[in-house]
Structure 1
Amino acid sequence: MANGPGELTTWVRPLAERLHAMLPLRPRVPDAPSSLELVLVPCPNATGHEHGAARPWHQFDRIVPAAQFWRLLIQPRRYGVWPRRGVVVFLGGDQFWTVLLSARLGYRHVTYAEWVARWPQWNDRIAAMSEAVRDQLPRRYRERCRVVGDLMADLSSFASHDDPLPDGEWIALLPGSKRAKLSVGMPFFLETADRLARRRPGVRFLLPVAPTTSVAELLHYSGPENPIARCYRTAVEGVDGEELVTAAGTRIRLLQRHPAHGPLSQCTLALTTVGANTAELGALAVPMIVVVPTQHLEVMQAWDGGFGLLARLPGFRRIIGVLLTVWRLRNNGLMAWPNISAGRRVVPERVGAITPDDIASEANMWLEAPERLAAQREELRALRGQPGAVAALADEVRQQLPRALGSA
């Protein structure tokens, strides 16, 4: 079970690959008696297109979209035959959905707890990211918990360099995958790219197209149909093969391969919005500048948590947006996952009424100081932890399976 695009790419896909390597499972082994299924759960941080993004991976015998979760819970047989025994694995969203579905199907379940295990009394097993997660558990439940490590730490092992980027100084642009983020991120980052290209004529740009969006959607948010785009001095000339070309002549390579870990790991610097992408970049040890332009209140709708939910409500949007901006700025709240994990600023976060020229200038300063980039990269590597979490979690899942399959 999972929710959003970040969790699918960084948690679900690696674990699914590992399970297929360990066990005979449909659809990879067509005649296998057991299968791997993906159930997506309702979540305000999801896009609604996750099922379409996961389908081309050919890892799952059945994918249930988030919009159908409640019908699945009420009438599971409506979605085909479910075996008498199985395991539900929590990999994002609300942990309670795992409790509900495992109870409904009569399955055992494993919860991957990144920060906290919320329902230990109902968890068969808890796979914790760190000792801190286990230490929070009441003592009587700690024997159910195993510290497997950070799933993100394994991303580098999945980052293939079989398709190296051409020589040059590559800058990754990650404007987000949700509408609220793209509406600000696309015009903002395009103008930033134009301005940075004028400062550094040899720089090259890479924009990974998130699996839950499309090139057409990126063009939409870069054009006049997006009111926010009118606030920026940029325009898209068109798409030339695999490159987006701005009116100023800046060429941005569009990468539509998923996941994009290999090419991303080769970038010198990334300019990114907040979200799971900051954890992904951190796991790949790619230096980054995190950008949140708060002059557009619409961006508040893309933030996580209760404030983000309230900001989506008509009438509350402007009030909550202003209060949230003031709170973030006054309290210097950490927003990027590497910073949250470290409890301090490892990567710069630029929050406020910032401009593309501000970010282009700062990016140029970082690029002119390779020793600073190397230091940030090393800090990110140190935070990442040791690889092996995916294998450890897969082992936990196998131990919960029926004996005949688990020993396959």
Structure 2
Amino acid sequence: MSAADQLTSADLLRVATAGSVDDGKSTLIGRLLYDTKSVLADQLEQVEQASVRRHGEGVVDLSLLTDGLRAEREQGITIDVAYRYFTTGARSFILADTPGHVQYTRNMVTGASTADLAIVLVDARNGVVEQTRRHTFIASLLGLRHVTFAVNKMDLVDWDEDRFRAIEAETTEMSRRLGIPDIHVIPISALQGTNVVEHGDSPDWYRADADHPTLLEHLETVQIAADRNLTDVRFPVQWVIRPGDADSQELHDYRGYAGQVSGGILRPGSAVRVLPSGKESTIARIETLTGDLDEAAPPLSVTVHLADDLDVSRGDVLVGLDDEHEAQVLRELEADVCWMSETPLRPGARLLVKHLTTTTQARVEALLDRVDLHTLEREAGPVDAFGLNDIGRVRLRVKRPLVADPYEQDRATGAFILIDEGTNDTVAGGMIR
């Protein structure tokens, strides 16, 4: 299988939805699932029964397909991140329904951290509000290259084109300032289903053609293959495979390094360097359960064999000698973090950092600045403490060196999480700058 075939076969789009409370995120996802016939009969029956209890006869509340927690159904708001999966003839999707309430900003960060594309809902009646700006900023901070603004509830403003164009202009300008390269703005009615999967009763000014796709048509055709780093080899070693005592000499000498390709294209014969040690070798074989490969691309999981018997262990990273960008070996680093704990983060704190396949101790040297999520400006530091949902830049010193790239260059090797060593709770997500 070629690298191109691997990228095609892995044509999965991870989508995060965001927006303010009551903008219709859960209803939109429910509509996508319902109209693509991705809802099982027993699920639909449960939703219909719950809809009768909440609204009476004659209304199917599609938001109940995603608001799965009892507290969510009682309050009518999304609290947790709900993941839903569906497939069309063109592509497979993982949809993350993230909370809109400011209290759950950390949950939105969690849902969007692995996404390829963000759908930010805008209520046509209210236009761009503070949460729209906040979620767009977080999308840009997380390195999402594709953001689609779904201007929902257009039926409640009689499909007013002037209203849509004003929102389109404001969201486009905001995204341009934040450096998001791929922006689309689509008018929809999630409740009625217009422009979600089918055009339905879409107005004349949003015609059914290639320049005016439905939301699903856009999701099926957005190009994400170029977002992956195919120029710099990055292979974090997750496991060293040794059969141990074996009868045959072949098995006795077996040594393979298992992991997932994070960047570049691996090929037998390619020269590689093992970091952080700096030792060099060449790739002898690329092995999978179904046989050897001539090349491997992200996000394929493989076992790599080297031509030389080197000291390689979990947490080491194989990089290419001819990479366009050289990987950094860091003992001290600066990163933007989203703090997710109710216990404040202060300078001097000791935490665990999990980066790729490495987990090591880290000390917070300084809190350098904090983002004002109302103005989207950075408050100059140093800062005394980060509270729940705060986003800002920190300086960390780590016990074991990390092999990393700037997050802007490679999301896979530039991201990490911070863990409370005492409780084992994930307390922050970070992006190396």
Common topology (TM > 0.5): no
Of Structure 1 and Structure 2, the greater helix share is in 1
- Tell me which of the two structures has the higher relative contact order, counting C-alpha pairs closer than 8 angstroms and 6 or more residues apart: 1
Q: TM-score, normalised by structure 2?
A: 0.30
Greater fraction strand: 2
Q: Please, what TM-score do these two structures have when normalized by structure 1?
A: 0.31
